[in-house]
């Protein structure tokens, strides 16, 4: 009220903020936000890390930036920005956070998740975590799904060499459903190519080595899956 009566253009110092008190409050909140998550309890982490961040930001914005005493138009300008920002995030969130929908599948993102988890299982972290991740990956492993997520981009879901990226490659990936292909291939070669890449057998580097992705057992399963495309196998 009073600020509307004498809106002076210079300071608006007729409000009294105890800056030292605000600063000390911020420090206490800061200490809580560091120590809280150390407990390792999920909801405590969320509240202490992100809940307190919002409280801290409010304290700074209202008392240090004096937004609380600022003219209303400034609040509207900032609110508009915030709303537009949230709209943008909410608008793309379903596409970014999901890796598949009714009529689409984000093959690259799925492959990245799989690669990352396999990496964690193979090389990552502390003892217990490692064990846990390995179990998860092993229990969830399915050669057909893995082929669909990683190899199908180039080789096609049916192994015919007609994946979306396959046509653009030079040389294109061969068709696993062509009997002629299998005349010159055996299981050992297929496994070698998957593990070490086609370059290891004199082929193209476009067929990368995927060995780091799989355990020995999983590699066997994927090899068997590729072998199953051979029409002569039936």
Q: Which is it for the CA torsion 45, 49, 55, 58, positive or negative?
A: negative
- Using the minimum distance from each CB to ligand HEC, give the nearer residue, 63 or 176: 176
Decide if residue 169 touches ligand HEC (CB under 6 A).
yes
Burial class (CB in 10 A: 0-12, 13-18, 19+), 92: exposed
Sole binder of other proteins in the list 2, 5, 43, 73 (CB under 8 A)? 73
Chosen residue from 173, 175, 195, 229 binding ligand HEC by CB under 6 A: 173
Nearest alpha-carbon partner for 158 in 176, 142, 171, 140:
176
At closest approach, how far in Å is the CB of 51 from ligand HEC?
A: 43
Count CB-CB contacts under 10 A for residue 141: 17
Number of amino acids touching ligand HEC (CB under 6 A): 24
Residue number with CB closer to other proteins (60 or 206): 60
The residue from 150, 156, 175, 182 that contacts ligand HEC (CB under 6 A) is 150
Nearer to ligand HEC, 26 or 200 (CB): 200
Q: Which helix (H) or strand (E) holds 56?
A: helix 52-59
Nearest to 230 by CA among 160, 158, 162, 179: 179
Alpha-carbon dihedral 25, 31, 37, 39, rounded to 10 degrees:
-110
C-beta closer to ligand HEC: residue 62 or 204: 204
Of 56-64, 68-76, 127-135, 167-175: span binding ligand HEC (CB under 6 A) = 167-175
Binding-site member from 52, 107, 121, 190 for ligand HEC (CB under 6 A): 190
Least spacing, CB of residue 193 vs other proteins, in Å? 26
CA distance 182 to 185: 5
- Cβ-proximal residues to 58 (8 Å cutoff; 6+ apart), any chain: none
Burial class (CB in 10 A: 0-12, 13-18, 19+), 22: middle
Torsion over CA of 144, 149, 154 and 160, rounded to 10 degrees? Answer: 20
Minimum distance, C-beta of residue 71 to other proteins, in the bound complex (Å): 5
Interface residue with other proteins among 39, 50, 144, 205 (CB under 8 A) is 50
Binding positions for other proteins, 121-160, rule CB under 8 A = 124-125
Binding site for ligand HEC (CB under 6 A): 147, 150-151, 153-155, 165, 169, 171, 173-174, 185, 189-190, 193-194, 198, 203-204, 206-207, 210, 222, 226
């Amino acid at each position: 009220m009073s600020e509307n009566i004498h809106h002076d253009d210079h300071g608006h110092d007729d409000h009294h903020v105890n800056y030292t008190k605000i600063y000390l409050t911020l420090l206490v909140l800061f200490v809580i936000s560091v120590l809280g998550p150390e407990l390792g309890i999920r909801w405590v982490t969320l509240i202490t890390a992100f809940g307190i961040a919002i409280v801290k930001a409010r304290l700074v914005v209202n008392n240090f930036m004096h937004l609380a005493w600022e003219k209303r138009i400034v609040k509207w300008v900032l609110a508009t920005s915030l709303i537009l920002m949230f709209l943008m995030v909410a608008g793309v969130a379903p596409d970014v956070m999901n890796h598949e929908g009714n009529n689409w599948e984000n093959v690259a993102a799925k492959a990245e998740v799989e690669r990352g988890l396999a990496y964690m299982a193979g090389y990552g972290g502390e003892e217990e975590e490692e064990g846990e991740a390995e179990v998860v990956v092993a229990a969830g492993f399915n050669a057909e799904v893995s082929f669909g997520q990683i190899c199908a981009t180039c080789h096609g879901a049916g192994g015919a060499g007609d994946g979306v990226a396959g046509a653009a490659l030079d040389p294109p990936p061969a068709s696993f459903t062509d009997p002629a292909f299998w005349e010159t291939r055996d299981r050992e070669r297929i496994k070698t190519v998957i593990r070490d890449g086609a370059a290891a057998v004199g082929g193209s580097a476009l067929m990368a080595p995927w060995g780091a992705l799989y355990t020995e057992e999983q590699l066997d399963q994927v090899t068997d899956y590729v072998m199953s495309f051979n029409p002569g196998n039936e």
